[in-house]
Amino acid sequence: MTDFEAYVTRYSHGLSKFCIKLCGGIDDADDLFQDTWTRALEHFDAYDPEKSFQTWLFTICVNLYRNAGKSKYNTTRREFSSTEEKQRFFDTVPAEEQDIDERLDLYRALNSLPKKYRVVLSLFYLRAFTTREIAEILHIPEGTVGSRLHTAKKLLKRRLQDGSHDR
């Protein structure tokens, strides 16, 4: 098994979950997932093994997502297109979040946030990156990550409390 194949085996599950969180739809998430691995393979010779592969990979993913604008990876913003898609989303939510209604509310509220806030929340809470790693992935200052996290948490809390997922 080559180094790249080992990385695919190790990081595919986490990357898949992250893509679902970013895109909000399975089809778009699958496209982003495939595009990320394709780009990683194309530029694998540029990867510095002294640095975290996961950070490098997620940087590629976030850059593809951000650079695509609103069209390419956000075409299916409906709630769920199938039972399978709904289950795949629920599989990405931490196990302690057992109530289905609460998970649906979280899904709706998270997807209603502007992209810059959805990305930092997903990286921080769902992928457990540090603020320093997120800053590296997004190419922004660490203080900006902290500010976005603070704002995102306030927005998410407000939307969960008042049910304003469409704003």
Question: Given this model, what pLDDT does residue 70 score?
Answer: 53
pLDDT, tens digit (0-9, with 9 covering 90-100), for 79-128: 555 667 666 666 665 555 456 667 677 777 887 888 889 889 888 887 88
What pLDDT, on a 0 to 100 scale, did the predictor assign at position 147?
95
pLDDT tens column, 34-67: 999 999 999 999 999 999 999 999 999 999 988 8
The pair of structure tokens assigned to 120 is: 């930092």
Domains in the chain: ranges and CATH: 3-162 (1.20.140.160)
Give residues with Cβ within 8 angstroms of 109, minimum separation 6: 156, 159, 160, 165
CB 93 within 8 Å of CB 111: no
Residue 37 DSSP code: H
Eight-class DSSP state of 64: H
The whole-angstrom separation of Cα 106 and Cα 97 is 10
| For residue 16, pLDDT beyond 80 | yes
pTM: 0.69
State the residue for tokens 């969960």: 160
Which tens digit of pLDDT belongs to each residue from 116-132?
A: 898 898 888 878 889 99
Helix (H, G, I), strand (E, B) or coil at 91: helix
Q: Tell me the C-alpha distance between 87 and 73, whole Å.
A: 20
